[in-house]
Amino acid sequence: MKKVTNDMGKTTAERGRGRPKIYSDAQRRKTIIDEARRAFIEEGFRATTIAKVAARCRISKQTIYESFDSKTELFKAVVGDHRRMMLDLPRPENEDDDPDVILERIFLIDVDEETEKERNSFLAFAFEEARDVPELAEFIRREGADPSRSDLADWLEGQVARGRLKIDNTSSAARMLMDMLLGPTGPGRHDWSTREDRRRHLRWCIDFFLAGTAVR
């Protein structure tokens, strides 16, 4: 907004052209991804359209196309966002806590109940949709599980390089950790009476893994 002088000699504010920018680009992108995830869960992959996501966000389709070329690209972003809801990776470079503490953060052991329900809803959607749209299973693996395992292997490699862990094959170790800690977190699991019981189990899994990879 700039100031101009009117015919009376008074200074007034002149509004710029166009609608005011309420959200930052990052905030708008997050809103689009969040609403797209909910649309995919509620309506399925095939029934969800860019128009429906735009309506949920109260923006135009063109605004979405400024960030995402297609529904497939939008779904790719949703999978990537969900991946970080499952594993908090990569980690800050200056993180210096003990490996057990960091692994609890990576696997979001203390995730709040609302976030847990939301991420499990997407997993349930993914499992169901993969039956009807087989190519989605490969897409989710390529954009979700594989990058997560690679990021985790990189973190383990860093711990090995620092002399904190002893692991011969960090890729296999990452796969093992994900099987141990993500297996009990999926939708429909009722193995524990309370969420705290499950957290104790996950911490035991971490301790078990670290006992076998400790530097002696």
Indicate if the pLDDT at residue 200 is higher than 60.
Answer: yes
Contact (CB, 8 A) for 109 and 199: yes
Asked if the structure places residue 150 within a domain, the reply is: yes
Amino acid at 91: R
Asked if the structure places residue 182 within a domain, the reply is: yes
- What pLDDT does residue 129 have? 83
Mean pLDDT in residue range 54-69: 95
Indicate if the pLDDT at residue 93 is higher than 90.
Answer: no
For tokens 């904190």, name the residue: 164
Between 209 and 18, whose confidence is greater? 209
Asked if the structure places residue 91 within a domain, the reply is: yes
- What pLDDT does residue 2 have? 43
Could you report the per-residue pLDDT of 33-48, keeping only the tens digit for each? 999 999 999 999 999 9
Q: Which range of residues forms the domain containing residue 140? A: 71-187
pLDDT band at 10 (very low <50, low <70, confident <90, very high): very low
* Domains held by the chain: number: 1
Asked if the structure places residue 125 within a domain, the reply is: yes
- What pLDDT does residue 185 have? 67
**11, containing H or E segment:** strand 11-14
pLDDT band at 186 (very low <50, low <70, confident <90, very high): low
- What pLDDT does residue 65 have? 96
Q: How crowded is the C-beta side of 170, counted as CA atoms within 13 Å?
A: 16
Alpha helices in the chain (DSSP H): 25-43, 50-57, 61-65, 71-86, 99-106, 113-132, 134-140, 146-161, 170-182, 195-213
Could you report the per-residue pLDDT of 108-141, keeping only the tens digit for each? 999 898 888 888 888 888 888 888 777 888 888 8
Asked if the structure places residue 56 within a domain, the reply is: no
- What pLDDT does residue 202 have? 93
Indicate if the pLDDT at residue 20 is higher than 50.
Answer: no
Cα–Cα distance, 46 to 28 (Å, whole number):
24
Q: How many Cβ atoms from other residues are within 10 Å of residue 213's Cβ?
A: 19
Indicate if the pLDDT at residue 89 is higher than 50.
Answer: yes
Contact (CB, 8 A) for 45 and 136: yes
- What pLDDT does residue 189 have? 62
- What pLDDT does residue 8 have? 44
For tokens 């297996």, name the residue: 183
Asked if the structure places residue 102 within a domain, the reply is: yes
Could you report the per-residue pLDDT of 136-165, keeping only the tens digit for each? 888 888 888 899 999 999 999 999 999 999
- What pLDDT does residue 134 have? 78
Asked if the structure places residue 39 within a domain, the reply is: no
Which one, of 88, 115, 102, 78, lies nearest residue 206 by Cα?
A: 102
Asked if the structure places residue 214 within a domain, the reply is: no
pTM: 0.78
